[in-house]
């Protein structure tokens, strides 16, 4: 039987905390700090692990909706339309099985549309796309802040 991801990560935390840190001299303050930081990150990962797949799937769905809106709003010259059409084609074959890699590919395609809009996009379409992206970014930032709220990094965030 293979150990679970949780068991393996907990083992790493125990090794760092029980073997590595005690073996480091007090004078190795940077090494001690980095070891504790690594332990903290692993503990955060462990805390988020059960919900990570759903979080990434939701993120992929959000970027899919943004991509759809960007493709629909984009008008202009040949370059703007061709990148928007490529984005639409990618989205029409969307699956969310590989959420994080899919999200990156859609983000790259949206970026290509933004570059094309600078080149030969209709100014009104460019403004509409920018406004849509800003709106999406604000909503995504709220979700991301919520995702990390339990870690206490964002002292200004209160759960709603």
Question: Which tokens go with 143?
Answer: 């979700």
Instruction: Read off the pTM.
Output: 0.80
Non-local CB neighbours of 6 within 8 Å, separated by 6+ positions: 46, 49
Residue 50 CA neighbour count, 13 Å, CB half: 1
What are the pLDDT digits (tens) for 14-49?
A: 999 999 999 999 999 999 999 999 999 999 999 999
Kindly give, in sequence order, each residue whose CB lies less than 8 Å from that of residue 100, ignoring residues fewer than 6 positions away: 56, 59, 60
In whole angstroms, what is the distance from residue 160 CA to residue 150 CA?
Answer: 13
pLDDT in the model for residue 154: 75
- Report pLDDT digits (tens) over 124-135: 999 999 999 999
Residue 156's pLDDT band, with cuts at 50, 70 and 90, is confident
**pLDDT of 77-120, one tens digit each?**
999 999 999 999 999 986 656 677 888 999 999 999 999 999 99
């Amino acid at each position: 039987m293979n150990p679970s991801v949780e068991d393996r990560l907990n083992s790493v935390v125990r090794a760092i905390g029980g073997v590595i840190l005690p073996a480091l001299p007090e004078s190795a303050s940077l090494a001690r700090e980095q070891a504790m930081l690594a332990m903290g990150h692993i503990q955060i990962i462990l805390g988020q692990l059960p919900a990570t797949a759903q979080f990434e799937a939701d993120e992929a769905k959000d970027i899919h909706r943004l991509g759809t809106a960007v493709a629909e709003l984009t008008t202009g010259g040949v370059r703007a339309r061709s990148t928007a059409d490529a984005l639409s084609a990618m989205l029409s074959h969307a699956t969310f099985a590989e959420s994080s890699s899919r999200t990156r590919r859609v983000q790259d395609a949206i970026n290509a549309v933004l570059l094309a809009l600078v080149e030969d996009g209709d100014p009104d379409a460019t403004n509409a796309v920018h406004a849509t992206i800003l709106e999406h970014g604000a909503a995504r930032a709220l979700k991301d802040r919520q995702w990390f709220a339990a870690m206490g990094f964002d002292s200004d965030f209160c759960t709603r």
